[in-house]
Amino acid sequence: MRSLQAKITFVYLALAALLVGLSVVALFELDRIADKAREGSKVAELVDAALEMRRFEKNHLLYGQARDLEDHAGYAGRARELLDRDAALLDALAGSGTAMGLRDDLTRYIGAMAAHADAPTDEALSNQVRILGNRIVTVGEHLAGLERQSLNTALAAHQRNLLVWLAVVAVLLALTGALLARQVTRPLQAMETRMEAVASGQLTRLALDSPEREFVSLAEAFNHVLDELERRQHTLVRAEKLASLGTLLSGVAHELNNPLSNISSSAQILKEDLPSPAGGGAGGEGATPDPATLFHRQLIEDIDTETLRARRIVRALLDYAGDREFKPAPVRLAELVDETLRFLKSKRPQGVEVRLDIAPELTVLGDRPRLQQVLLNLIINAWDAIGDLGDIGGELSISARAGIVGKSDGFPALAGQCRPGSAVIDLSLADSGPGIPPERLPRVFDPFFTTKAVGHGSGLGLFISHEIIEEHGGCIGVANRPEGGAEFRIRLPAAPVETTPENKKDNP
């Protein structure tokens, strides 16, 4: 996967390399221009010497003074030195032979000047001096002009190059800016839009479609936060609903308890008043009761049975509403499961196997009777589900393992408050029944949700189990197994090592 950081680093390095390259070229060009300026000053030196030479030539021709002749000779010598020194430069400027021609003219000019000093009245000599002197200065000024022109050309070229480079850098900066904006701002804008949607209550996931690694990680983290938010929201709503439901149920259960007791006692008294089917009741010694009495007796027995069932539900509701004190203590899971299976021995359907895989030392911190109630609910549910399959038999596997809560360890939905990093014991009850249709999965823990026939299920078993597990600071979840059947998983806090029963025995 591509990384934005790598791209930015690449663009940064490419731009830095370009700027360093352009600076080196610019420095090189400036150096060339400085060379040209130095060459120009050399030519200017020669022209200056020639002009001074001519000034003293004119003075000497006018006034014939010996000092002017000396100064003239000094400048003429200086001009010759400069010609010797810069011959190559002059040839490069105006073509080969230029320095040589100038030198010849200068030699002839010095010779003519010396001859004129000996014969000051000779007009032809003074004319020759003037012509040669003029030619030397003209050539010198021409050379100076050429040098200035080449300097100007170099400066103009440098200026043009600088402008072109600036334009190239500007275009590259604009292109990389646009590219980075596309790569960075677009996903950020998409994220902003989604976050606004989240702020307005829609928990929409971010798509992981950006090719950049950073955005994919950000989107993953964001989606993880959303999942967690959704889960907490769900738990909160559920907790609020259940809190008010608990108050309501507790009130209703208390109110129903007494009338149900009264109905039950009245039914018992009525039943005793009727003659027994064997003819031994209050209705007459030895006489067989008539069909109407038998029918009444049957009705009263139905009333009694149904009242008892209603009282059991009321008891369960009172338990849920927190009537009993919650007393957590170390509980050995293997023992608890064994004991619960012994209680349920008579209810196990024919042909159903129970497989146990619980290490004897696994100990949770919990309220033993409540945990047993959870196990009873889950085991009976599993057997009911397997029983639905008819007589082909089935299997219930109960296993447990110790662990540490990870960040995302695939615990099925509807988890409770298990905090990452805490030591826990995971208990699994996996059956070979038909499983739970996916659309029903989120509802099985709801109060009064049941798919069992009227009179067989109250829909409170899983609801109360969920409450009990949450009360323990644990989690409960359910998922369908790939091989078929449902798997309930319970996560409970592990008992601290020093409080396990065995350790207590060792260190009283």
Cα 17 to chain centroid, rounded? 32
Binding to ligand ADP (CB under 6 A): which residues in 132-161? Answer: none
**Is the Cβ of residue 150 or residue 450 nearer to ligand ADP in the bound state?**
450
Burial level of 331, CB count in 10 A (0-12/13-18/19+)? Answer: buried
Rounded to whole angstroms, the Cα distance separating 413 from 182 reads 38
449 binds ligand ADP (CB under 6 A): yes
Cα 76 to chain centroid, rounded? 84
Q: Which listed residue (385, 405, 494, 495) binds ligand ADP by CB under 6 A? A: 385
Q: Which stretch binds ligand ADP (CB under 6 A): 132-140, 181-189, 261-269, 430-438?
A: 430-438
Rounded to whole angstroms, the Cα distance separating 82 from 45 reads 8
With H, G, I as helix, E, B as strand and everything else as coil, classify residue 423: strand
Rounded to whole angstroms, the Cα distance separating 373 from 466 reads 11
Looking up tokens 């790569």, which residue turns up?
Answer: 183
Q: Which listed residue (433, 473, 474, 477) binds ligand ADP by CB under 6 A? A: 433
**Is the Cβ of residue 89 or residue 460 nearer to ligand ADP in the bound state?**
460
**Is the Cβ of residue 419 or residue 456 nearer to ligand ADP in the bound state?**
456
Q: Which stretch binds ligand ADP (CB under 6 A): 44-52, 245-253, 339-347, 459-467?
A: 459-467
**Is the Cβ of residue 347 or residue 452 nearer to ligand ADP in the bound state?**
452
Binding to ligand ADP (CB under 6 A): which residues in 360-379? Answer: 377
Binding to ligand ADP (CB under 6 A): which residues in 462-481? Answer: 462-463
Rounded to whole angstroms, the Cα distance separating 404 from 308 reads 44
What minimum distance in Å lies between the beta carbon of 489 and ligand ADP?
12
Q: Which stretch binds ligand ADP (CB under 6 A): 166-174, 211-219, 304-312, 429-437?
A: 429-437
Token code pair at residue 256: 């129903």
Run of H or E residues at 146: helix 123-199
CB atoms within 10 A of CB 355: 10
**Is the Cβ of residue 128 or residue 377 nearer to ligand ADP in the bound state?**
377
Question: Site mask, ligand ADP, residues 479-498, x = CB under 6 A?
Answer: -------x------------
The answer to whether the CB of 469 falls within 8 A of the CB of 412 is no
What minimum distance in Å lies between the beta carbon of 322 and ligand ADP?
19
**Helix axis angle, 368-387 relative to 461-471, nearest 10°?**
150
**Is the Cβ of residue 222 or residue 449 nearer to ligand ADP in the bound state?**
449
Rounded to whole angstroms, the Cα distance separating 42 from 51 reads 14
**Is the Cβ of residue 307 or residue 458 nearer to ligand ADP in the bound state?**
458
What minimum distance in Å lies between the beta carbon of 462 and ligand ADP?
3
> How many residues form the binding site for ligand ADP (CB under 6 A)?
20
Cα-based distances in Å from 336 to 299, 382, 415: 40, 17, 23
What minimum distance in Å lies between the beta carbon of 8 and ligand ADP?
54
What value does the CA radius of gyration of the chain take, rounded to a whole number of Å? Answer: 55
The answer to whether the CB of 495 falls within 8 A of the CB of 363 is yes
Q: Which listed residue (222, 451, 501, 503) binds ligand ADP by CB under 6 A? A: 451
Q: Which stretch binds ligand ADP (CB under 6 A): 182-190, 304-312, 324-332, 460-468?
A: 460-468
Rounded to whole angstroms, the Cα distance separating 147 from 167 reads 30
What minimum distance in Å lies between the beta carbon of 380 and ligand ADP?
7
**Is the Cβ of residue 246 or residue 283 nearer to ligand ADP in the bound state?**
246
Run of H or E residues at 227: helix 213-273
Question: What is the widest separation between alpha-carbon atoms in the chain?
Answer: 191
Tell me the residue nearest to ligand ADP as measured from the CB.
461
450 binds ligand ADP (CB under 6 A): yes
Q: Which listed residue (128, 381, 397, 500) binds ligand ADP by CB under 6 A? A: 381
The answer to whether the CB of 194 falls within 8 A of the CB of 204 is yes
Beta-strand relationship, 475-480 and 394-404: unpaired
Q: Which stretch binds ligand ADP (CB under 6 A): 277-285, 336-344, 418-426, 449-457?
A: 449-457
397 binds ligand ADP (CB under 6 A): no
Token code pair at residue 444: 């099985």
Note the residues at the interface with ligand ADP (CB under 6 A). Answer: 377, 381-382, 385, 431, 433, 436, 444, 449-452, 457-463, 486
